[in-house]
Amino acid sequence: MPFVETSMTVLLVWALAGYLLGSVPFGMIVAKTMGLGSLRDIGSGNIGATNVLRTGNKKAALLTLLFDAGKGAAIVLLARTYAGEDAAQLAGLAAFLGHCFPIWLKFKGGKGVATYFGIMFALAPLVGLIAGLIWVAVAAISRYSSLAALLAGGRTPIVVTFLADGRLFALTIILGLLIYARHSENIGRLRAGTETKIGGKSR
């Protein structure tokens, strides 16, 4: 994380803004708007793009992906513009937590992967691009969205070490650990060979 240069009051405002924006469950909104039903009753019950894809509606899944990534990117760019780098990173972290633990859904949210990529792209475009390419490559080969997310989140701190400002390193470690924590059940299924592949129905 960068040195704290912004006042605590301003940082708290951006953290709250990040959390509230991150809490918006775009997957559920898109699914309901497009007449796909409640995501809680579909597939894994998750609110993210991977579960939206299990409805068979690729357009809805793409919209969810873009909105979830967009909210992470938007709050980072806004905070950086009007406050500073410390506020941008804090707002990004808060947006990720908001997606995972949204107040509107009794703190039962998604895994945060799309929001994570939005945050990374906004903070360091090259790092975000490489993280995204890692996800795409692993997903294309394995067909496991969870494995792709785990490897992307786990490798991003290494990428940051070589290609980005060192002030971003701590945040990538924190977000990476949170991604692993949010995928604890997926890790168990991957080890057992029972994880659902992209486009498949949850077991």
> Which of these, 161, 182, 38, 173, lies nearest to 114 by C-alpha position?
182
Number of domains in the chain: 1
Per the domain annotation, does 84 fall within a domain?
A: yes
Residue 72 lies in a domain: yes
In percent, the amount of the chain with pLDDT more than 90 equals: 80
pTM over 0.85: yes
Tell me if 170 is assigned to some domain: yes
For the stretch 51-97, pLDDT in tens is 998 888 999 999 999 999 999 999 999 999 999 999 999 999 999 99
Question: Can you tell me the distance from the alpha carbon of 174 to that of 128, in angstroms, rounded to the nearest whole number?
Answer: 16
Residue 160 within any structural domain of the chain = yes
Task: Answer yes or no: is 202 within a domain.
Answer: no
Residue 158, domain member (yes or no): yes
- What's the mean pLDDT when you consider all of the chain? 92
In a domain, 96, yes or no: yes
Q: Does residue 85 fall inside a structural domain?
A: yes
Q: Determine the structural domain holding residue 20 and report its residue range.
A: 8-192
